[in-house]
Structure 1
């Protein structure tokens, strides 16, 4: 029997003006029955999934990481598998799962990929796939308007970060990770569930979205030029040799800050400190390319040697 797919495209995402009919026909040619919808707001996505959960076998979401984040609660409730069509600016979940940015190729993975369970992070009760941030990254978001995203693409993230540096003040934080306590002076704390964030930045070299671990880093206050010098390390997630970065990993994290601070997750403001992070292992089933599973086997093989 053909799969019955609920196709939801967020028209406000960067490439959400893709032809809904073309995507629908591509999925139909693979043997799927498709129920297509184009929405204007991410917050409409979970209700749409819940409404049609009994009539379909999977939910396909076309949009950016914010659209996928909006779908998370309904995916957990309905247990529908997820197909990802990366149509946003950063598309970090797609990067983590090695899903191509090309919509035709991504559609083929929805139709013929491998179902695979991935973890979800949760901060103060709000779910996230990729990473949550406290500090400079959240402040930079204020400079990242939809117009900047459209004009600059992923380079808009770097542009907004440098604009934010001039007005951001460092803060103190108490971090408890799996019972281990640490106090830091920081400009940025990031907690990653997945591997990528911010348009391809890497939370840690060994991070994965299916390893049941959070990876945390905290950056000490640094001059602008030092941040520029360390930029390649931040891009690749290679922090081991850099003194200004504190690193932790664990299953449960609590963070209290010297002043109340905003928390963003998957590019959206979700809460304020103090923050409690917990992990929901294997929470969502996603269709991934076989190459992703092969790469995970290689990583596990190396880790076991």
Structure 2
């Protein structure tokens, strides 16, 4: 049986991931498998810990945290060139786990890793950064940025809701030029989401049509509209019903996406926000990533 390395981000989920250490420990002792647990200490630690573990002979590398932790551990596996990613969702969003139907119950998620059922999933790149789930610009990325500021003063789940309200009041549409494979589009947008997975923002089904292993990006463009129409549209994204509003929402499927913006903006990559200026390029790697999934 392959050895298992659990990489835990102790601050993920407001400290929830750290509290899983004794639970994982007790569960693994009962099943009598070789394992180890390592806690990250700073950003990007997960990359190097994963690579060191694989060099030591661990074949199953488990990310215990949110989508950011999963992203780091996946990058370590890909840079090493072998190994299979396991996920114990314990962060704030856990959106990749939703797409892969990985349960939030810890014993069940470990059980999936032990069973060893896996699939090869697509790996996206955006301006040199890896992403497995969704990357986006527009309203949602500004919400994440504003929520980060709010969380410094308010450690509560309501921080995201407040971030949405603040962003809605002050948000201005973004003028973009898009190249979606051979399609050229020039328009003002509310948001553009490009991804492999279906969910982002903690369960918003922004790309309900996406298939994580089909070799294509799925793209959702929400066009410029009035604030009142936005208020009516936003709740429909929760269940992926927004795609019915074809006047305001456009759906595409492509291998490569390039976005040009006139002004600086924010790019949301699997829940992590970066400043972006002028050009964003999305491509799919030829290499796929092996991830343990629910049967």
How many residues of Structure 1 are paired with residues of Structure 2 in the alignment? 287
Residue matched to 1:6 = 5
Taking the TM superposition and a 5 Å limit, the aligned residue runs for 1:1-305 are 2-14=1-13, 15-55=16-56, 56-78=58-80, 79-145=82-148, 146=151, 151-152=156-157, 156-238=159-241, 239-270=243-274, 272=276, 273-280=278-285, 283-290=288-295
Counterparts of 2:68 and 2:197, CA distance in 1: 14
Report the alpha carbon displacement of residue 271 of structure 1 after superposing the two structures with TM: 5.4
Q: What secondary structure does 2:209 align onto? A: coil
Q: What secondary structure does 2:260 align onto? A: strand
Counterparts of 2:282 and 2:38, CA distance in 1: 33
Report the alpha carbon displacement of residue 132 of structure 1 after superposing the two structures with TM: 0.7
Report the TM-score, using the length of structure 2 for normalisation: 0.90
Runs of 4+ in 1 over 4 A off after TM superposition: 146-150
Contact preservation (8 Å) 1:12, 1:40: no
Task: Give CA deviations for 1:92-134 in whole Å, capped at 9, x if unaligned.
Answer: 0110000111112111111114121111111011011111111
Report the alpha carbon displacement of residue 147 of structure 1 after superposing the two structures with TM: 5.8
CA RMSD of aligned residues (A): 2.0
More displaced, 100-109 or 277-286? 277-286
Contact preservation (8 Å) 1:174, 1:181: yes
Runs of at least 5 residues in structure 2 that lack an aligned partner in the other structure? none
Task: Give CA deviations for 1:148-186 in whole Å, capped at 9, x if unaligned.
Answer: 89521xx64443222111222212111111111111211
Report the alpha carbon displacement of residue 142 of structure 1 after superposing the two structures with TM: 2.2
Runs of at least 5 residues in structure 1 that lack an aligned partner in the other structure? 291-305
Task: Give CA deviations for 1:204-223 in whole Å, capped at 9, x if unaligned.
Answer: 22212111111112222333
Counterparts of 2:73 and 2:174, CA distance in 1: 33
Report the alpha carbon displacement of residue 144 of structure 1 after superposing the two structures with TM: 1.6
Contact preservation (8 Å) 1:126, 1:270: no
Contact preservation (8 Å) 1:81, 1:285: yes
